[in-house]
Each structure stands twice: as C-alpha cells, then as structure tokens.
C-alpha cells in the first residue's frame, strides 16, 4: 500500500482537526507563556539544619631521611663481571668449529651433489625414452576398436561362446553392444561396398518389439525374421518391391539345449546400396535356461554367398558354460 498523494482536494491531511490545527501550524495555545513554577522553600520544610562535620586532625609529620641523591634515589651499584674470560674462549672455539665444519661439509657434499645431478640426468633420459617408445606411431589406426582377444564371440550374460567365423569376416563391435533384436551382443561383418555388408552377430534375445516365448520357440524365431525384414524398420530400407520367401524352420539342439534355426531369403527389384538382388537370412534361437534365449543372426547378401556357410557352422557350434538345461 502506498501513501496517498499530498495536496489533493478533500485531503484529510489538509483540513485542520476540530478545535485543532493544520499540520505545520501552531495550535490555539500558541503564544501563551507556560506557567512559572516557584522553587521550593527549604527553610520551611521543618527539617532542622544539619550540623557540620568537625575538621579531621592531620597526621604528624614523619621524620625525614637524608636524601643525598635527589628524587631518583641512589645509583645502582655496579656488579663485578663474572666469567668474562671463559665466555670469550668459548666463542672462539665455536667459531673455529663452525668454520671447520663448513669446509668439511662443502668438500663432502660437493661429490654428492655431482652424483645427484648425474642420477637426475639419467632419470630424465629414461623418462624421455619411455615417452618416445609409448607414443603412437603414424601407422597406427586411430579410432578403430581393437578386436577382442581369443577365438570366440562371447555373450557373457548367457555364458555363450561362439567360434569365430574366419576370413573374410572381421570384428565390428562388442561384446556387450546391442542390435535391433539383441543385447550383450558381439558383431562381425564383411564390407562389400561403402553401405553394404554381410552381418553376423550373437547375443541375448531381447527386443522392445519382439518378446521371446520359451513355450513357442518356432513362433519366436518367426517373429525375429519378420522384424529383421520389415519394410519400414528392417535391414532393407530403400529396397523396391521387397519380398520375403517362406521361412524354413529346423528344430535342433545346440550344446544339448533345444534350438530352432529359421532361414529365409529377402529379394527386391532394386536398391541404391548394391547391385545384389537378394540376401539370405538365418536366425538361430537357443533356449538357455527355460527363460532366456541365445539369438544368432547371419544375414548374408548375394555378394557374400561364399561366406554364408562359415557363419552357419559357427552358430551351430556355440557352447555354453555350465551344465546343460
């Protein structure tokens, strides 16, 4: 809330109060002298006058002592010096020891400083040499992920080991990566053109679009192939007149566990990425423990036909750590 503006018509602050005065003006009592108050008469108070105090007796002067030195008193009595000769001798001895110790220390530490400097030079040389050896050479391929050690593709969440498919397949990613149908996956591939590859991967069957059903492994494998070849979201975007053959299912076992191998061929009239006319797809589903499934994918176009069997053999040779289900 703000204060109302001053000097407006009807302003209650501009009207004198009844019988009073406006702000800034003297009131009706202005100019009247205040009453004078008389000083009280103490002579008529009735109290008797108080008697004065008698003067206090002074002290008798004390007999003085003769003061021959004035107000500062007698000067201090000089004390005889003690041990002056012994102190001088001690100082001389200390100086001799300090000078001798300094010379000896210089002679002794001079060699140590040389040795320390030499050792420091050696350390610096070794450090520079190590840095030079560890520096990457110009021939190193920067930014490329190194292929994992060993002879298998791994799915650690399932304890699965799949043999490497061999040349011309090369490492492409993982383990622990993800594809459209897998988690914890490892991937190998063959590069045919800048945008066209053969694809091989193993991983945990896990997808937001396809759920694994342990009671219907054939249906799960069929759903996986349908997702892989979907015209809108699958692996063949841009293909004209895409068609998929009937799926061939083979029920089998992999390392003593129930498995289904589903195979189909996707073909098209044309596609910008390649001159190939088709691609063969194989999907292997292995029930690992009644809940989780291993999923292997080998999608090989016409350009990589010779390498297709290597991928199938590797998938079917997968081993699982631990006892069979």
For residue 1, pLDDT over 90 is answered with no
Confidence of residue 117 (pLDDT cuts 50, 70, 90): very low
Kindly state the helix (H) or strand (E) to which residue 251 belongs, with its residue range: strand 248-254
169-192 confidence digits (pLDDT tens): 999 999 999 999 999 999 999 999
Query: Kind of pairing, strands 182-193 and 196-205?
Result: antiparallel
Q: Is 191 helix (H, G, I), strand (E, B) or coil?
A: strand
Other beta carbons less than 10 A from residue 308's beta carbon: 19
188 within 8 A of 164, measured Cβ to Cβ: yes
Strand partners for 183: 204
Question: Which is nearest to 296 in space by CA: 158, 105, 137?
Answer: 158
Say what the pTM is.
Answer: 0.56
264-298 confidence digits (pLDDT tens): 999 999 998 899 999 999 999 999 999 999 999 99
CB-based burial label for 191 (10 Å; 0-12, 13-18, 19+): middle
For residue 201, pLDDT over 60 is answered with yes
Question: Which is nearest to 236 in space by CA: 203, 268, 200?
Answer: 268
Confidence of residue 87 (pLDDT cuts 50, 70, 90): low
Confidence of residue 150 (pLDDT cuts 50, 70, 90): confident
Any idea which of 103-112, 169-178, 253-262 has the lowest mean pLDDT?
103-112
Any idea which of 134-148, 161-175, 280-294 has the lowest mean pLDDT?
134-148
What is the domain partition of the chain in residue ranges? Answer: 163-320
Q: What is the number of alpha carbons within 13 Å of residue 73 lying toward its C-beta?
A: 2
Domain 163-320 belongs to what architecture?
A: 3-Layer(aba) Sandwich (3.40)
pLDDT attached to residue 190: 98
**Is 146 or 98 the better-scoring residue by pLDDT?**
98
């Amino acid at each position: 809330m703000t204060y109302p503006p001053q000097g407006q018509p009807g302003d209650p602050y501009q009207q004198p109060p009844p019988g009073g005065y406006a702000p800034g003006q003297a009131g009706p009592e202005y100019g009247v002298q205040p009453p004078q108050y008389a000083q009280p008469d103490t002579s008529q108070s009735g109290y008797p006058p108080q008697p004065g105090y008698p003067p206090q007796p002074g002290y008798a002067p004390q007999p003085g002592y003769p003061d021959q030195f004035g107000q500062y008193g007698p000067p201090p009595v000089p004390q005889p010096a003690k041990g002056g000769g012994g102190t001088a001798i001690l100082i001389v001895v200390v100086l001799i020891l300090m000078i001798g110790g300094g010379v000896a220390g210089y002679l002794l530490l001079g060699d140590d400083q040389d040795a320390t400097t030499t050792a420091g030079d050696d350390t610096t040389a070794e450090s520079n040499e190590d840095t030079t050896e560890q520096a990457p050479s110009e021939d190193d391929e920067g930014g490329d992920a190194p292929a994992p050690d060993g002879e298998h593709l791994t799915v650690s969440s399932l304890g699965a080991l799949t043999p490497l498919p061999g040349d011309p397949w090369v490492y492409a990613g993982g383990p622990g990566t993800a594809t459209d149908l897998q988690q914890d996956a490892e991937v190998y591939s063959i590069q045919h053109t800048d945008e066209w590859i053969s694809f091989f991967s193993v991983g945990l069957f896990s997808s937001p679009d396809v759920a694994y059903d342990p009671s219907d492994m054939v249906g799960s494998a069929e759903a996986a192939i349908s997702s892989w070849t979907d015209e809108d979201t699958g692996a063949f975007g841009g293909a004209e007149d895409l068609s998929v053959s009937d799926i061939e299912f083979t029920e089998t076992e992999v390392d003593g566990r129930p498995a289904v191998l589903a195979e189909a061929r996707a073909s098209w009239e044309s596609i910008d990425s390649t001159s190939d006319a088709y691609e063969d797809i194989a999907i292997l589903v292995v029930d690992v423990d009644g809940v989780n499934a291993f999923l292997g994918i080998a999608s090989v176009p016409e350009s990589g036909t010779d390498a297709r069997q290597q991928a199938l053999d590797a998938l079917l040779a997968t081993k699982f750590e631990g006892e069979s289900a």
